[in-house]
Structure 1
């Protein structure tokens, strides 16, 4: 199937699912390793009050590297890798929803909007507990914590990675019960559902516009690689205010989205809603290029054997 700009779109029914999932997990893991430091920096910037510790993305990167070493940029990473499960659920939901919506409306923007939002709803239901734990681990600085909970030392020695994770999980459960692992769930949905729902239509929109402006022999993959970051920057800018509120709710243990929003505006003004935006865009740009190129390539590599020769790129 091709859209009106003649950019090939591989649908779910064209794929060899086993190959798709195996290659997809490998690709996602490589992406997470490369962008995780900026995810950690973004979270710390969003949680800190004003510019009390870090002045910006570069300043945070240098200070963390200097005081905590390279390992400091990967705090909570092992826990965060469990979101690979939600990533596969996201892709599956997105593709199946596109297929379902196509029965009623074959407009690519409509299919992308509905599928992107639905996929994010499913993924966030799995991701939020993992995010809550990993974010508290991200807040652990050398000898102190920026969040509610601090990893306890044992006989003066710092706990190992899995010991720290267990300690944080126990503290969250003692303080808030099972609900503590879904703190900020609504805020996450209000952040990531719009982000996902907006990203896909903008991605196809930019690809179509670039296709109409470039020569016919311009590789589609190049247009898609440019469209991805443009869509990510657009979606990140539109949803960053809610992302700041989400981080505050989850890390500081607040229960009200509205009160958190009002407090943020009162203390830091409207500019407080832009905190972490540059780190978010910086992390989104390279990762989105890799995701787009990887995802489109992954789908091509996962084509059912009988369809390989029928596709022209």
Structure 2
């Protein structure tokens, strides 16, 4: 542990190497934290989804009007429609994501070390490659969960069908479209989450190192100084905010299109081009950025474990 703390306190090192982690504790702690974050932010994700699929004549077009409408008709439980499906599928998805992320990150760091790049540049490359690889691997499990949960999120809203739970959604989708129906929007999901994850992790890794440099850690006079836990958490939080905003601004249009494709009923077989034309016709090009604010808050799908918890699982 002392060696790990020394590594953490050195300039820009806010990660513990994959080979030093006790994997079982890492996944148990990670699943617990991720579930807690999902509980806290799930209503924001639901609101984002409803904003993205709202029709032109929908009465609820803003986040606050959507919240009022849900609370009026369903109360607090309405903010958690589809939550059980998401949690059930998110845990294995998260394990796949974290495994691919950490192993790829470690391998990429080793590959770029001989080039003698700056620490922020190394972090951006290694984290970006790892984030993209992890997103691609996890989509095979996540897309069916996404399709089912999003149909539950918007059921009865703006003309969408109603269901009797996640199994009913899956049964009806399989009956109409087969297994392909559960993977509707898979290509767009990969195109959305791969660059989003790459941008998030690249921004997160490099911004943290820049912040540490700004704070003076890594310079000669600070080599022996230990950053407090509050400072470490604050730096990580600032990096996460910057990364979330950057990734959301770049990938929200793809996410909006993907969501519309995934929630449309069997009677509607729109193409990507037709979805884009409909959004632009309703709201202009800003229609592609529906739900940008909420999506910035729910970019937690790619957030790594907090540093103090990574210390706990270090062997």
Normalising by structure 1, what TM-score? 0.84
Structure 1 residue 268 and structure 2 residue 283: aligned? yes
User: Which string of whole-angstrom CA distances, capped at 9 and with x for unpartnered residues, describes residues 33-55 of structure 1?
Assistant: 10000111100100012362323
Aligned to 1:75: 81
1:16 aligns with 2:22: yes
Equivalence for 2:239 = 227
What's the CA shift for 1:130?
0.7
Secondary structure of 1:105's counterpart equals helix
CA separation in 1, counterparts of 2:18 and 2:153? 36
- Answering whether residue 116 of structure 2 is matched by residue 104 of structure 1, we say no
Cα deviation, 1:67-94, whole Å, max 9, x if unaligned, reads 2111100001001112111011101100
Displacement of 1:205 in angstroms is 2.2
C-alpha distance after superposition, 1:21-41 (max 9, x if no partner): 111111111111100001111
1:1-313 equivalences in 2 (<5 Å): 5-50=11-56, 52-81=58-87, 82-106=89-113, 107-140=122-155, 144-146=156-158, 148-151=160-163, 163-214=164-215, 216=217, 217=227, 219-252=231-264, 254=269, 256-284=271-299, 291=303, 294-304=305-315
Whole-Å separation in 2 of the counterparts to 1:34 and 1:296: 20
Q: Does structure 2 retain, via aligned residues, the 8 Å contact 1:80–1:130?
A: yes
The two structures, once aligned, show a CA RMSD in angstroms of 2.3
- Cα pair 1:132 1:182 within 8 Å, conserved: yes
Cα distance in structure 1, aligned partners of 2:255 and 2:171: 26
Per the alignment, do residues 133 and 69 of structure 1 end up closer, same or farther by CA in structure 2, a change over 3 Å counting? same
Is the alpha carbon distance of 1:186 and 1:177 closer, same or farther for their aligned partners in structure 2, counting shifts above 3 Å?
same
SS at match of 1:54: coil
Q: In 1, distance between residues paired with 2:98 and 2:44?
A: 23
Q: Is the 8 A contact 2:82 2:165 kept in 1?
A: no
SS in 2 for 1:211: helix
The ranges of structure 1 where at least 4 consecutive aligned residues each deviate by more than 6 angstroms after the TM superposition are none
CA deviations on 1:133-157 (whole Å, 9 max, x unpaired) are: 11111112xxx34465322xxxxxx
Task: Say which SS state the counterpart of residue 165 (structure 2) adopts.
Answer: helix
| 2:224 aligned residue | none
**2-side partners of 1:283 and 1:198: how far apart?**
15
Number of residue equivalences: 286
**Worse-superposed segment, 218-227 or 23-32:** 218-227
Q: 1:257 to 1:5 in 2, by over 3 A?
A: farther
Tell me, yes or no, if the aligned pair for 2:54 and 2:61 is still in contact at 8 Å: no
Structure 1, gaps ≥5 residues long: 152-162, 305-313
SS across alignment from 1:102: helix
Partners of 2:58 and 2:90 lie apart in 1 by 31
What per-residue deviation string (whole Å, max 9, x for no partner) do you get for residues 89-113 of structure 1?
1011000111222332232221111
